[in-house]
Each structure stands twice: as C-alpha cells, then as structure tokens.
Amino acid sequence: MIALHAGTAYTAVMANLTIRQLDEETKRKLRLRAAANGRSMEDETRTILRELLSVDRSAAGPRAPRPVGAAPAAMSGARPALASTPAALRRTVSGLAGASILLVIGGGVAAYKSLDLIRRLRERGAKVRVVMTKAAQEFVTPLSVGALTGGTVFTELFAREAEHDVGHIRLAREADLVIVAPATADRLAKMAAGIADDLAGAVLLATRAPVLLAPAMNPAMWSHPATQRSVATLAADGALFIGPNAGEMAESGEAGIGRMAEPLEILAAAEAILTPRDLPLAGRHVVVTSGPTHEPIDPVRYLANRSSGKQGHAIAAAAAAAGARVTLVAGPVAIPDPPGVEAIHVETAAEMLAAVERALPADIAIMAAAVADWRAATRAGEKIKKGSGAPPRLALAENPDILATVAHLKAGRPRLVVGFAAETSDLLVNATAKRRRKGADWILANDVSGGQGMGQDDNTVHLVTEAGVETWPTLPKEEVASLLVARLAAALGELKEAAE
C-alpha cells in the first residue's frame, strides 16, 4: 500500500505491495533501513506502514483543546520519529551529556525559570546556546543569561557579527534539541503559522531537530480556541509539549492551567527525547578493534600490515548508530574516528589487548583489527645502523591473541564474540577451524589473496557460525557493518529470550 521514495518521504498510493514487486533500488534502500533498525524487511515494511498511517491520522484534524483543569506536566504531542530526523541521526551519544541544546526564551514572567534550566542543562553536560526574543529581554537580561551560558546570547535576526559568526541556519542545524521556554501564546501562534519575522521564528522554522515547547500563559489564553488550534497544529507537525501545569498565576488571584513546567520537568523531558529508546542496541556496550598494529623494531622502523581500519570503523559507527555505547580500540589508521564512539588509539598488539581488557565488560566484542602476529623480540633503543657487517637478524616473538583471549574469558566474557579471518587460501576451511580454535561465536571470513578486501571500499564476507556458512554479496563496508550489527542485535535478542 505504499510507494517508497528516497530518504524518508513516503506517500500513499493504491497498490498491493509485496517486497518482490519493488524495484531493485527501493529494495536496496529497504534492506539498508531494515538492517540499520535491526528488523527484517517485512517488519520494516510494516513499521513504515504504521508510521505512515499514524502520520495520516494525526494530520487529519486538529486535536480537541485540552480541557481546563486537567493538565499534568506530562510530555505530550506527536513524538517526532527521532530515528528519521537528521539531527537525531547525527547524534549517537545518548542523553544530555554532550548534547547541543538551543534554548529559545520567550517573553513571559516564567523567563526567570529558564535561568535555572540553563544551569541544570549545563550541569548535565549539555552545551547550551540561547536565543532571546525581544519580549524575553523585558523579563531577563541577555547579560544574566550570557553569564550562565558562558557564551553569546543571540537576539537579532540580522545582527551582522552573529550572522557572520554563527547565523540562524547554523544555530538551527547544530542543535540536537530546541527547547522553547517559556513558549507564549504569541510564539505558539507564530510557530503554527510558520512566521519567521525574528531570530527565534527563523531558527524554529529552519531546525530539523526535535522541538520541545514549555507553554506559559494566562489560563484564559491557554484555553482560548486560537491557542488550542496552534497547539493541535504544532503537535501534528511533530512538536513536543511539556506542561503547562495547573496552579497560581503571577497575576494575583488567578489560577488555572498555564504555569510553565518546572525546570526539572523540562530537563527530564529533554533527557527522554535525547535518549534513543527503540534502537536495537540501546543499552548495550560493544567493543570493536580496528586497523593494523605497529610493532616497533627501533625508534623509526616497525612491522605492520595493509589494514586501513575501514571495516572495523564502519562496524563501530553502525553499532553506535544502532544505539550501542561503543568503545573503539584503533591501531594506527589514516581515517577519522566515527562520530559517537569512544575511540582509544593504540599502536601495538600488547597495547590493544590492554585497552580491550580495560574496556570490558561488554555485551559484544568484534575483533576486526589486523593484529600483527609477531613483534620484534627486542626493541632497539637506538636506530639500528647499517654498519659494515651482514644485515641484522630480526628475532620475532608471538603477540597475544586478543580475540582468543576475550573469547576464552572464564568470567565476564561478552555474550557474542566475533572475529575476522583474513585468508589467502582455503578460505572457509581455515575460517571454520579458526572459529573453533579461537573460541569465537562468529567469524567473518574474507579472501585477502591478491590484496582483495584490505584497504578497499567493498568487502565480500562469509559469516561462519556454529550453524554453518552464509555467503553475503559483495557490499560496501558500511553495508557489511549494518548487516552485521543487525544480525548481532537479533542474536542478542534471541539469547535474552532463551535466558528468560
């Protein structure tokens, strides 16, 4: 019942759908999306349909205004599909720590509470930028806000220095979450209409991050059908609401619904929005090794191999994107650390083993590094000179096997231990034997004869498990990584079910 388009736009058409009838490109996208979400293609299709139908429902008409007298400080509104918003995708670290929050302070008495909110957000490790509306500056000064954020407070849409330096589009794009507190009736109406005649309006229109609104206004204004129409429109657009609460108003003798939610409530809502819940590896710890190791011979020479780290880094990135906390132990590579992972840089096999042991416990260990099997038995303190005699003899000592060490741990063994087998002959026979010998649950075998696989962008792998061998098609390393992560998430789920 759907047509699948590039990206995340899906429109309804009338047709009976089976996956087989989809064109190749669409199938490829569906496979990727399913792998990234740890679902089968059929499940992914069902999820897309569900999302599509719920969007249609919420867009079908404005919600009834919330009745006066029954408004807890609960978060409400149509939850934006966090996994499909670019800002949420970009961010793989969970929670407030390290998150970029853009706080829009609107013009209301409750603006003073936003000062406390800034302090609390920063205490939890969030980076806070603040946009103040003109009216907000009647209640709190940019000076006091700036003192709390330790940075510039943005007030003007056309401030030359600010536009040059940051600019409203960057303000909008760099946020993981936008909070509007207090959100006045006027702001809600402007947002619902898409008005961008000030900096706050422009930023709110330009952002693709989730938007959390903390309304604050007089109860009569809140319950007015015009405000409730704005609320319904904004909720249908995907905005999230916290509050307003019921209670005494600033105006003496006035009570009802309209008090802004407390800073702690806003904080909890922000935390919940930024914590991915439905990702397949949420709450899991994954340790990945990647790249080669360098084994020094003297201060200038070392033993190494051709590993680029592309496959290991792609796996670390895919695990992080699937919601895991990822520790990447990387040998010397020329590629950047993937976003959202804790990267530990090492040089030698011994350092790699020590870093992996420090990183444990973990749910999954994926040993993708091409660890040098041998190191120089002794490491010369000075550069070895040519001299006049015969070439020096290089005595080697065997390095510890990190995969075998982790897989044979008696206590604290990760539930799934995965290794690679880079072979130049008898690929599957060698890989199957290697899996047993090293005690790994799975081995991804790849043929590296003639320089295949190493350093390249595509990889042809065979998944060797206790159940047998499964050959995957040649895929970009990112897709191999997504498939592996999806399989691991599913296997971990099955292990959990079996244990219950």
Whether the link from the prior residue into 67 is cis, omega within 30° of 0, is: no
- Residues numbered 156 to 185 that lie near ligand CTP (CB under 6 A) are none
Cα–Cα distance measured from residue 176 to residue 211, given in angstroms and rounded to the nearest whole number: 9
Residue 203 or 333: the one with the smaller Cβ distance to ligand CTP is 333
Q: How far is the CB of 356 from ligand CTP (least distance, A)?
A: 8
- Positive or negative, the CA dihedral 210, 214, 218, 219 is positive
Residue 39 or 375: the one with the smaller Cβ distance to ligand CTP is 375
Residue 73 or 370: the one with the smaller Cβ distance to ligand CTP is 370
How many angstroms separate the first and last alpha carbons of the chain? 37
Determine if 481 is a binding residue for ligand CTP (CB under 6 A): no
**Residue 444 contacts residue 463 (beta carbons within 8 Å):** yes
Residue 243 or 292: the one with the smaller Cβ distance to ligand CTP is 292
The CB density around residue 214, as the number of other CB atoms within 10 Å, is: 29
Cα–Cα distance measured from residue 112 to residue 124, given in angstroms and rounded to the nearest whole number: 20
Cα–Cα distance measured from residue 194 to residue 178, given in angstroms and rounded to the nearest whole number: 16
Residue 212 or 402: the one with the smaller Cβ distance to ligand CTP is 402
Q: Which of 276, 278, 281 is nearest to 485 (CA)?
A: 281
Determine if 421 is a binding residue for ligand CTP (CB under 6 A): yes
CA 422, distance to chain mean position in Å, is 30
Determine if 373 is a binding residue for ligand CTP (CB under 6 A): yes
Cα–Cα distance measured from residue 425 to residue 486, given in angstroms and rounded to the nearest whole number: 29
Q: Which of 96, 172, 371, 492 binds ligand CTP (CB under 6 A)?
A: 371
**Which DSSP letter does residue 284 get?**
-
Q: Which of 185, 297, 402, 488 binds ligand CTP (CB under 6 A)?
A: 402
- Residues numbered 102 to 161 that lie near ligand CTP (CB under 6 A) are none
Contact mark string toward ligand CTP, 327..356, x via CB under 6 A: ----------------------x-------
Structure tokens at 464: 């060797």
Residue 305 is among the residues annotated as catalytic for this protein = yes
Q: Report residue 92: phi and psi, to 5°.
A: -115, -5
Q: Which of 262, 295, 401, 479 binds ligand CTP (CB under 6 A)?
A: 401
CA angle 493, 78, 205 (to 5 degrees): 120
Segment interacting with ligand CTP (CB under 6 A) among 209-217, 313-321, 399-407, 455-463: 399-407
Determine if 422 is a binding residue for ligand CTP (CB under 6 A): yes
Q: How far is the CB of 438 from ligand CTP (least distance, A)?
A: 6
Residue 149 or 289: the one with the smaller Cβ distance to ligand CTP is 289
Site residue total, ligand CTP (CB under 6 A): 15
Cα–Cα distance measured from residue 378 to residue 391, given in angstroms and rounded to the nearest whole number: 16
Q: How far is the CB of 468 from ligand CTP (least distance, A)?
A: 19
Cα–Cα distance measured from residue 211 to residue 213, given in angstroms and rounded to the nearest whole number: 6
Q: What is the DSSP string of 119-163?
A: HHHHHTT-EEEEEE-TGGGGTS-HHHHHHHHTSPEE--TT-HHHH
**Residue 126 contacts residue 100 (beta carbons within 8 Å):** yes
Q: Which of 233, 311, 399, 482 binds ligand CTP (CB under 6 A)?
A: 399
Q: How far is the CB of 406 from ligand CTP (least distance, A)?
A: 8
- Residues numbered 252 to 291 that lie near ligand CTP (CB under 6 A) are 289
User: Given 218, 305, 399, 430, which residue is catalytic?
Assistant: 305
- Which three-class secondary structure state does DSSP give residue 403? helix
Determine if 316 is a binding residue for ligand CTP (CB under 6 A): no
Determine if 420 is a binding residue for ligand CTP (CB under 6 A): yes
Residue 84 or 456: the one with the smaller Cβ distance to ligand CTP is 456
Q: Name the region of 323 (left: φ>0; alpha: ψ -120 to 50; beta: rest).
A: left
Segment interacting with ligand CTP (CB under 6 A) among 36-44, 88-96, 166-174, 420-428: 420-428
Determine if 447 is a binding residue for ligand CTP (CB under 6 A): no
**Dihedral (Cα; 412, 415, 416, 417), 10-degree rounding:** 20
Q: How far is the CB of 169 from ligand CTP (least distance, A)?
A: 43
Determine if 233 is a binding residue for ligand CTP (CB under 6 A): no
Q: Which of 209, 419, 442, 482 binds ligand CTP (CB under 6 A)?
A: 419
| Half-sphere exposure in the Cβ direction for 39 (13 Å, CA) | 14
Q: How far is the CB of 462 from ligand CTP (least distance, A)?
A: 13
Determine if 403 is a binding residue for ligand CTP (CB under 6 A): yes
- Positive or negative, the CA dihedral 425, 431, 365, 361 is negative
Segment interacting with ligand CTP (CB under 6 A) among 115-123, 248-256, 338-346, 394-402: 394-402
Q: How far is the CB of 421 from ligand CTP (least distance, A)?
A: 4
Q: Which of 71, 270, 355, 367 binds ligand CTP (CB under 6 A)?
A: 367
Which residues are catalytically annotated?
305
Return residues touching ligand CTP (CB under 6 A): 289, 349, 367, 369-371, 373, 399, 401-403, 419-422
